[in-house]
Amino acid sequence: MADNKSGTKDVGAYGPDPVGSVVSEDVTGSAHGYLARPKEPGKYPGIVMIHEWWGLNDTIKRMARTLAGKGYVVFAADLYDGAVASEPEKAMELATKVRNTPDEAVKKMRAIVSYLRGKGGVGMVGSIGWCFGGGQSLQLSLNEPLDATVIYYGNLVSDKSQLKKLKGPVLGIFGSIDTNVTVSSVNEFKAALKSLGKENSIHIYEGVGHAFANPTGATYAEKETADAWKKTLRFFEENLRAVAA
C-alpha cells in the first residue's frame, strides 16, 4: 500500500480478501482504529498496522483483514481521528499535523499495543506500515519494545542513540529509484543497525520507486510486490509466531 486515494480496488499481489475467515470491527477509545482477527478461536500474535498519508481508508482495512487471514490479530491504527483524505493537499495537511505532534502519534500507537496485549489477548507484537505509516512503524518501535518491525519505504532514522532502543528485528522494503526515501538514507539506516548489532533484513528493489507496492497506484510493480509480501509474511512468521511457539 502507499500514497493512493482511498478505495477498495483489488489488492493484487497481497491476495484475496479473506472475509469468510476473519472477523473485524471498529474500535474507539484510547485505542482507536480497525481490528481484524481470525474467526477461529485461538491465541495469535498481534500486529499494529499504520496507514499511509490518506488515513484509515477501506484499502487499509482490507489489508488488515488480509494479514489477519494469515493468523494474526491486526489493529489498524487511525492517527487522523476519523479523517480520510481523497486529495494530496488534504493528505499532506493531515500527515504534517501528525508529524508536528510526534508524541501524540506515539501515544495513540502505544495504546493499541496495550489493547492487543490486554483485550486482544496476544503475546508477541509487531508493526507494519507503508510510506507515512512506514515511518510511524519505526517510531513506534523506537518508543515501545516490539518483537518485529516492518517498514515499507517510510522515513528512516540513522541516529544510533535512537536506534539502540529497538528490541526486535527490522524488515525494510525500499525501491532503488525512490526520491522520497533515497538509497543513501536506506544505506545509512542499514549501516547504523549493523554497527549496533541490530538484526535487520533490508531489501532495495531495482528499478522501482516510491509506492511500488501499491496495487492501485501508477507505479505498482506486481513482481516486486509479490516478493516483498512473501518476505513480510515469512518475517512475521519467524519472529512472532515461531518465537512464541
Tens of pLDDT, residues 80-96 = 999 999 899 999 999 99
The cell numbers describing 129, all together, are 506500515
Query: Is 213 within a domain?
Result: yes
Q: pTM of the entire structure? A: 0.94
Tens of pLDDT, residues 209-238 = 998 998 877 889 999 999 999 999 999 999
Query: Is 7 within a domain?
Result: no
pLDDT at 13: 86
Instruction: Work out the number of other CB atoms within 10 angstroms of the CB of residue 42.
Output: 9
Query: Is 200 within a domain?
Result: yes
The helix, strand and coil proportions of the chain, stated in percent and rounded to the nearest 5, come to 40, 20, 40
pLDDT at 96: 97
- CATH code for the domain of 212: 3.40.50.1820
Residues of the chain with pLDDT under 50: 1-10
The distance in angstroms from the start CA to the end CA of the chain is 30
Question: CA dist 96 to 60, 91, 108, 127, Å?
Answer: 20, 8, 16, 21
pLDDT at 216: 76
Query: Is 3 within a domain?
Result: no
pLDDT at 158: 96
Domain range holding 37? Answer: 12-244
Total count of domains within the chain? 1
